Structure formats: structure tokens, C-alpha cells
Structure 1
């Protein structure tokens, strides 16, 4: 894989989002609960990132961390579905295969309400960890099948934790995925034409406007911090769209993080921001953003 440090350079495409919107916004909810590394699930170690850093010795079951994750599906998921219904928005849910296999009725409810199920890997791990194409392909297909079985919808988009492997996009193209989101390098969709069997449409994601920042020491502390950051991003990109180059903003959320009551105030605040700017903003599922991009960007 050769790095592309130029992209569109100084001549970005002027995409026309539906309704003349100056900005496309992708709300993403990460559905990982039950797919985190856990001795309970037969993994060799436990996930260590949570409300606090785990102090359980390696190799022992961590009931505390299990409970922190379980809160996401037990209590947080309902908050998200209710808020999205009240505000009339549709989101993309990055679903881990093992997570939805363990809670299929909840995953099914997300898609039944019009949201998109995208593939977030079999477990919550970097695909860069896979030692071979064959091993990664098995994990990719296992997750694809689990999501389709749970939701009734075959995923067409993909994003894994951290980093993809050098073969990920080749595998996505082989199995008819429409877009990959393992990219943090642009505000616009683009084609990766170097993919064997491709090209592959890339819908970049982002980690800055993301509630994981509540779990990082250099990130958000109060709900309003996240709202203010999102507002700055929204308004900056609307202004750029008004100057002729409409772009894409990603807002990343997690069931166990912003699903907590205090932090959910940030979600409510962001949804109100988007509602107040509805004439300028198109809030859409990633598969719909990908379809709009494919119609305008030559492959």
C-alpha cells in the first residue's frame, strides 16, 4: 500500500448533496458490547479501556469491565433509538458480529427503525492484527453473516477498530462491499483505485468529533464540551459548503459511553444543533452518502 499524501489537492470535487445541503453529516453508533476482548468469551485477555483502566490481572475474568460494556446494550441502546426517533434522524450502526450474535433482537430493532447496519468486524479489534488474508477473510465473512442473520440486512459498509490490514479493501471488493470507512485522511469520499478487484469507495471516518474523547485525558469532560466541538465542526464545514465545496462530517458515538445519562446530554445537544441547521445539513446513513458519492465521482 502506497500512502497518498495529496488526495484531491487544491481541486476538491464540488459534490451536490440532496436538497442542496451544504454539509452531509453521518451519525455513527458503535455497537461493540459483547465483542470486546474478554476472558469470559474465550479471549486470552480482557479489554482494558473503559471508565477506568482495568486493574484485573491478565488471564482472569473481569466482571467490572463486562458490566461497563453491558450497560451499553442494557440501558444505552434504548436512549439512542428513542432520541433518533424523536429527532427524525437515521444513523449508521457499526456492528461487531459477535456483539449482534449475542443480542440479535436489539440489533434487529435498530434496522427495523430504518438505521443502517455496517460491519465493524467479528470482534472489536484492529484488522491489522490478522496474520493472513485467509484469517481476515474468515473473520470478515463471519461478521457479515452474523449481522445479516441478526438484522435481516447484509452490511455494505465496513470499519474496524484502529487500523485495517493491507488486504482489507481487497477482501471488501471481493465480497461486494460498497464502501470502506477505515480512513481518517479526508473530509470527502474518494476512490481507492489501487485495490485489486476494485476500485473501492472510501467514506472517511474521524476520531476527533467522537465520544471516545470522554475516555481520553486530552478529550471531553462535560457534555457541553462535545456539543461545542461538534458545533464548531458543523458551522466551519457549512461555511465551506456555502463557498462551493460541500463536505462530510462524522460524529461517532458509543452505546456504553454516550449511552450514560450525563453524557447523553451531549447527544441531545448535537441533535438539536442539527435540527436548527436542517436547511443546510443532510443527516444520512453512510450507505446513502456512499450512493450519492458514487453517482457523482467517477470510479
Structure 2
């Protein structure tokens, strides 16, 4: 079966047939099939893993698996323990797993969560993972004015830098809902990429303030908060769905640049069953030739360095 690129090329030739004649089409030499694009580091398929560090930064009575029926004026104490699991058990377990698998991830850090658990945030960076920004807290930033949002983002950056010593280069808004001024602010503050975009399965470059800015697409399909927490998938269903996504992207990567994004949240992806599923999943991926795991800041750098990166 022809690829879409081959189809479009053939369709274009057929459209010209009336002008140049069928004999010319027959006489044209067959061209060797070549990849439309490839990664500059030699990878066939790049896998990007997100580890959200949010627990401890959530508002009072935040969303949780418990029924949202608390009487106004009272705290949802069991729900708070669900979040506490994220920094007490979840992230430490995931960090050990990433070391075991030999992969590096991007941790999107909420500023207030980092300030509450500074030693854990510092450990994430010390183990070689990326510290990316995820706002000061769980506020809805798309309703903010330019000045309010700029301070909100900067406060989150300052918290991460104060604790870990690293200045975030990537950004993720709460539930991906950025505002009209977000990208302009990110560019002004020295960020190089954001992930609040679901439109592609590979990184691409846009113009912000007349400068290159990278989009490293995120995922909802391979995301534990949507599938496991939101849809109540079991861990084996999560494993099967993400594995099917990998198999398809790996097949496509023979002819074009492909990136796969997988996301874990501290209090969900750090549970024993989900870590077991992740271990099986990533071990399976590592058995395929040309599959590499990259932090999102590394992916952004590769995109900026490659003249063949898609531009929009």
C-alpha cells in the first residue's frame, strides 16, 4: 500500500498526464524510497516520558477519585492523603524505575509543590531528569491578565530554580489550557518550548515574537490521569493501549520522523501496578532497534538544530 506521500506524488503526476502524455510517465525512472525525515541523533523513534510533580501544590478539595460531594466549608481529608501518596511513594518509586530502565524523563513541576518537598525536587534533577515548569500552583491561567500571568509563570520558575538550581526551559499549563499571552510570555522569560499541543506526533517550530519556539506535543491517549484516573482503565488496559500506539508509530517511523509521548502523574503513575506496567511497556520498547528515550529539552534542542523540522 502506498504511503500518503507516495499517493500525493502519484496523484500529482497523473494530474499532469494530460499535458505531458502517458509515455512520459512510463519512461520516468523509479525513485528509491527514502525516509521523509529522521532524527539528527540517529534515532528511529524517540519516546518522551513526562513525570508530573503536582502533589502538595493542589488547592483545597481538589479533584480526586472520591465523589465530589463534600459539604461546603469542610476539608476532604481522605483526598489529601491521595495526593500525599504522590510525593511519599509515587515519585520515589518512579525514580527508582527510571534508573532501573536507564531512561531520563521530564518532570513538570508545580512551584508550590516543589517548595513543599524541596529534597524530592532536588533529587529528581540530581538523578539526571529535566525540571520543567508547571505554573506556580493549580490556578486557571487563561483567565489572567498579561501581568498576572507573567508573574504566575515567573513565580513557578523561581521556585524550581531556587530548589533545584535549574532554570526550566519547557512549560506545561494546568490541563494544557494556556491563555492568549502565554507563548509570548514564555518566549520573553527564556523558555525554548511548550507542550500544550496535541496536533502532531513529532516536534515542530512556530514563530513567537518573531523568534523560533518549539512545540513538543503532549498526549491524552497515553496519559495515566485521563485513562487510569479519569476513565478507570486497569493497568493492563493502559499497557495494551500504549503498546498499540507504540507499534503503530514504530511502523510509521521507518519513513518519517515520529515521537511518542507518555505521561505519568505522581499519585497515579507511581502506584505499584502502574510502575509494573511501565516497566513492562518500556522494556518492550527498548527491544526495538532505534528507539531512544529523550528529555523534552533535548528534543527541543534537536528540533532547533535540524533544518528539516516542520515549521508552522
Kindly indicate whether the alpha-carbon contact (under 8 Å) linking 2:101 and 2:279 is maintained by their aligned counterparts in 1.
no
Matched residue count: 275
Cα distance, 1:19–1:172 mapped onto 2, change above 3 Å? closer
Kindly indicate whether the alpha-carbon contact (under 8 Å) linking 1:17 and 1:282 is maintained by their aligned counterparts in 2.
no
Q: In the alignment, which of 66, 71, 83 is matched to residue 85 of structure 2? A: 71
Name the residue aligned to 1:120.
134
Bigger shift: 262-271 or 143-152? 262-271
Counterpart Cα distance in 1 of 2:128 and 2:297: 12
Cα deviations by residue, 1:70-103 (Å, 9 ceiling, x for unpaired): 1010011111011111110000001000100110
Q: In the alignment, which of 207, 222, 225 is matched to residue 237 of structure 2? A: 225
1:189 Cα offset (Å): 1.3
Q: In the alignment, which of 263, 274, 279 is matched to residue 285 of structure 2? A: 274
Give secondary structure in 1 for the equivalent of 2:135. coil
Q: State yes or no: 1:292 paired with 2:311.
A: no
Cα deviations by residue, 1:130-152 (Å, 9 ceiling, x for unpaired): 2x011000110000000011111
Kindly indicate whether the alpha-carbon contact (under 8 Å) linking 1:23 and 1:248 is maintained by their aligned counterparts in 2.
yes
Cα distance, 1:276–1:52 mapped onto 2, change above 3 Å? farther
Counterpart Cα distance in 2 of 1:207 and 1:126: 19
Name the residue aligned to 2:38.
16
Give secondary structure in 1 for the equivalent of 2:108. strand
1:167 Cα offset (Å): 0.4
Give secondary structure in 2 for the equivalent of 1:20. coil
Structure 1 or 2: more helix by fraction = 2
Give secondary structure in 2 for the equivalent of 1:28. strand
Name the residue aligned to 2:263.
252
Counterpart Cα distance in 2 of 1:260 and 1:207: 19
Q: State yes or no: 1:234 paired with 2:272.
A: no
1:120 Cα offset (Å): 0.7
Bigger shift: 152-161 or 256-265? 256-265
Cα deviations by residue, 1:9-53 (Å, 9 ceiling, x for unpaired): x89x94432553221110100100111112xxxxxxx212x2223
Runs of 4+ in 1 over 3 A off after TM superposition: none
Counterpart Cα distance in 1 of 2:297 and 2:223: 20
Name the residue aligned to 1:25.
47
Cα distance, 1:14–1:75 mapped onto 2, change above 3 Å? same
Q: State yes or no: 1:47 paired with 2:62.
A: yes
Q: State yes or no: 1:81 paired with 2:95.
A: yes
